[in-house]
Amino acid sequence: MTDTVAYDHSEAAATAGEHHDEEGHSHPSDWAYVKIAIALAVITALEVFTYFETVLDWGVALVPSLIFMMIVKFYLVATWFMHLRFDSKLFGRMFSAGLILAVGVYLVTLTVFEFWV
Amino acid sequence: MSAEPLMAEVDHAVDADGHDHDPHATTTGLSHTKLAMWVFLGSECLLFGGLISTYLLYKTRGNGRTLPTDVFDIPFTSVSSFVLLMSSLTMVLALSAVSRGEPEAGRTWLLATALLGGVFVGGQVYEFTAFVREGVAFTTNPASSAFFTLTGFHGVHVSLGIVMLMSLFVASLKGKLTQRNSETVEIVGLYWHFVDIVWIFIFTVIYLIPAD
């Protein structure tokens, strides 16, 4: 009975271009994932483009642009492919805790070596 | 007897006090396995953060010998990066197929993900051998040691991911990977996407941002 309900549910969702997991969270359609992958590929191409300075000199905008594109790619993978956008916020908080701690600690370490030593 | 009461007997257990409860229920209402994977991935940020910071500190310390940045092959590494990025797409398509109850499609995407991961690791092995031929080995200088440690650790993570993917592939062939336990694919997928995210960071910070 449960399986039948689950099957009918996913079939109806598939018609609407999305499906649901066992916890009832809706997940995007395969085409949505493909669109995210295309966006990631375009951003990667832009990143590589910056390497060839003879084509276009990015000047002082180079490093900020690269970091911005990296953050956008990071965000797209984490929110769409890792489903943080659709899952419980607790998962995101667990990951963010490690990430923020790592970025904070190592930024402090790097600045100490850069400016104080 | 209808099928419904039988399902209820399977899905619910009665404890000593006579309370009916779901054996899969958790105190948070969330999967503890998935939560554990997220905590693990959070801790992995610290590991890779340490390795990346070490490289950033040592990247110009060549002791008068060739630096890794002198021998980077950006077009080649860009292709490797693209391959790993696309493996995240095939991974999420594998999960999507398994959770829809399509084991054949799930197997195909799992195998595609493992193959793309294999291409990435193969590219890394080629890159390492090319570096050694050009005079940048593990013990050449502090910069090369930090570089090989960082990218080597990442390569080991990708290799472990391939082992996990192939385990899922074999389990699926044996009929043990069904819609009901699609969470296993999701958890391996989380690990795989994390490895991809780490490379997104490494590719920009180590390869693309100029050393000086």
ipTM: 0.85
Please report the pLDDT score of residue A83 as a whole number: 95
For the segment B22-28, the average pLDDT, to the nearest whole number, is 71
pLDDT, one tens digit for every residue, chain A (117 residues): 333 333 333 343 443 345 555 555 567 899 999 999 999 999 999 999 888 766 677 778 889 999 999 999 999 999 999 999 999 999 999 999 999 999 999 999 888 877 765
Q: How far apart are CA B190 and CA A26, in angstroms?
A: 17
In a domain? residue B21: no
**Sequence-distant (≥ 6) Cβ neighbours of residue B42 within 8 angstroms:** A94, A95, A96, A97, A98, A99, A101
In a domain? residue B58: yes
**Domain tally, chain A:** 2
In a domain? residue B170: yes
Q: How far apart are CA B188 and CA B164, in angstroms?
A: 7
In a domain? residue B2: no
Same domain, A93 and A54: no
Same domain, A77 and A36: yes
Please report the pLDDT score of residue B28 as a whole number: 79
In a domain? residue B10: no
Please report the pLDDT score of residue A80 as a whole number: 95
Q: How far apart are CA B61 and CA B68, in angstroms?
A: 10
Query: Alpha-carbon dihedral of residues A5, B177, B118, B81, nearest 10 degrees?
Result: 20
Q: Which carries the bigger pLDDT value, residue A14 or residue B148?
A: B148
Q: How confident is the model at residue B5 (pLDDT cuts 50, 70, 90)?
A: very low
Same domain, A91 and A74: no
Instruction: Note down the domain range covering A14.
Output: 2-86
Same domain, A74 and A91: no
Residue of B nearest to A73 (CA): B200
In a domain? residue B3: no
Task: Tell whether A113 lies on the interface with B, counting CB pairs under 8 A.
Answer: yes
For the segment B148-164, the average pLDDT, to the nearest whole number, is 98
Please report the pLDDT score of residue A19 as a whole number: 54
Please report the pLDDT score of residue B7 as a whole number: 41
Please report the pLDDT score of residue B139 as a whole number: 96
**Domain tally, chain B:** 1
**Sequence-distant (≥ 6) Cβ neighbours of residue B129 within 8 angstroms:** none
Same domain, A74 and A46: yes
> How many angstroms separate the Cα of B159 from the Cα of each of A10, A117, B51, B165, B187?
34, 38, 18, 10, 16
Test B200 with A70 for CB contact under 8 angstroms.
yes
Nearest to A102 among B7, B35, B45 (CB): B45
Q: How far apart are CA A12 and CA B204, in angstroms?
A: 42
Q: How far apart are CA B193 and CA B77, in angstroms?
A: 18
**pLDDT, tens only, B33-85:** 999 999 999 999 999 999 999 999 999 999 999 999 999 999 999 999 999 99
In a domain? residue B159: yes
Please report the pLDDT score of residue A112 as a whole number: 86
Same domain, A31 and A81: yes
Q: How far apart are CA A79 and CA A65, in angstroms?
A: 21
Residue B3 confidence (pLDDT) above 50: no
Nearest to B93 among A7, A33, A83 (CB): A33
CATH number of B169's domain: 1.20.120.80
Chain A residues whose CB is inside 8 A of the B190 CB are: 82
Scan residues 56-85 of A and list those with Cβ closer than 8 Å to B. 62-63, 66-67, 69-70, 73-74, 77-78, 80-83
What average pLDDT does the structure give for chain B? 90
Same domain, A39 and A95: no
For the segment B21-32, the average pLDDT, to the nearest whole number, is 76
Question: Which range is least confidently modeled, A48-62, B159-173, B175-189?
Answer: A48-62
B166 exposed, middle or buried (CB, 10 Å; 0-12, 13-18, 19+)? middle
Instruction: Note down the domain range covering B106.
Output: 30-208
Same domain, A80 and A28: yes
Cβ count near A64 (within 10 Å): 10
Same domain, A73 and A109: no
For the segment B20-24, the average pLDDT, to the nearest whole number, is 59
Same domain, A107 and A59: no
Same domain, A30 and A41: yes
Same domain, A49 and A98: no
Tell me the β-bridge partners of B20.
Answer: B14
CB B81 within 8 A of CB A44: yes
For the segment B147-176, the average pLDDT, to the nearest whole number, is 97
pTM exceeding the 0.90 threshold for the entire prediction: no
Q: How far apart are CA B11 and CA B88, in angstroms?
A: 34
